[in-house]
Structure 1
């Protein structure tokens, strides 16, 4: 026999899929829902907790439980800009530049970007948005010698488009993903609480000739963004 909380989980999910509950809509209280389903509040809470863990519902402290917005997805294959990813989801991308500086490449940047300790990089710190909702805090390092002929706007607002418009062919990327929690500074930028679940990503992007052109350290809000794999 299927447990009661699973049956409730399936029914609420079905109602969301059928449009009874819209994205962003607040659900009735646990007391009201438990009365509607004829179960204890503990059983109802089990069903809701499972839906929250699946990203279908979200709890807002002091406010209630809401139907979660659909997460922005990135396919883990090839190299795609953030703007292209967000546009493909039917959302409007934007970004806020926090810092932009020229500095000598660090040891890690030298290793990832095939530079020497005498080479300079441009380091950009940004928050990226989809429909004005903050999704990711990132720090990008780019070899200065690669972009010395580009203006700041071309680099900060549409870097990949600038590269392709100037004859560069973008190839593969290497990515590492791991889980962490947001520190106070990052949490403030992403409009979440300190300790919120974060998907951390490091990525090195390459031209088709094998030269690395960007090293990025990103922190995505775990319940607003997801990665998925696609195999040929």
Structure 2
């Protein structure tokens, strides 16, 4: 049998998914919710805390607990930049550059980018935000020969747009998704708890001529981002 706080967590989440609670709604007080679910306030607080950690609820100091903003969604078809995904949903995209280095590729980058071990890639670590909320920590590698003419800012802030502005056509992408838990560094970047469940995405993006131009390993906060499939 599931612990009481997990059952309450699942029930509140279901009510949100079913539209019984709207984005921006304020939850009743802990006292009222604990009476409603016939549990102690400590048990109720465990359920609410878990929902906050997942990004489904948000606490506002001195005000209460609210249904959080809707998650950013990515349709798993074609190749679209994170910036464009966020903009398409009426949110403001931004990023924080953690590191940016010119290095020889590792074995995975050699394989996925179809390059030689003695060549160079630009490897960068970024935290990507939607409306100033951290959504994903990513490590991206791009063959230096493709982006050598471009300024660092053009690569780190609007890479896909830079490619298209310079005559490149974006083609397909290959993506692999798995579940994992956040280590301490990732948790700090994404403002979540160590050990919290996250979505790990590996993506190789190609130009329309089949040339791989980017290999990215991303870690998404599940409560703030979701993928969905669409079949024709």
TM-score by length of 2: 0.82
Alignment of 1:140-155 (within 5 A): 140-155=140-155
> What does residue 58 of structure 1 align with?
57
CA distance in 2, matches of 1:105, 1:27: 53
The alpha-carbon deviation at position 16 of structure 1 amounts to 1.9
> What does residue 4 of structure 2 align with?
none
> What does residue 195 of structure 1 align with?
195
Q: CA RMSD in A?
A: 2.8
Which structure has the bigger radius of gyration? 1
Alignment of 1:22-171 (within 5 A): 22-23=23-24, 25-29=26-30, 31-33=31-33, 35=35, 37=36, 40-41=38-39, 52=51, 57-58=56-57, 66-171=66-171
SS in 1 for 2:21: helix
The alpha-carbon deviation at position 11 of structure 1 amounts to 6.9
The alpha-carbon deviation at position 34 of structure 1 amounts to 5.2
CA distance in 1, matches of 2:156, 2:51: 35
TM-score by length of 1: 0.82
Ranges in structure 1 where 5+ consecutive residues have no aligned partner: none
SS in 2 for 1:115: coil
Write the deviation string for residues 90-147 of structure 1: whole angstroms up to 9, x where unpaired: 0000000011000011111110000011110000110000010000000000000111
The alpha-carbon deviation at position 14 of structure 1 amounts to 4.9
Q: How many residues align?
A: 213
SS in 1 for 2:83: helix
> What does residue 16 of structure 1 align with?
21
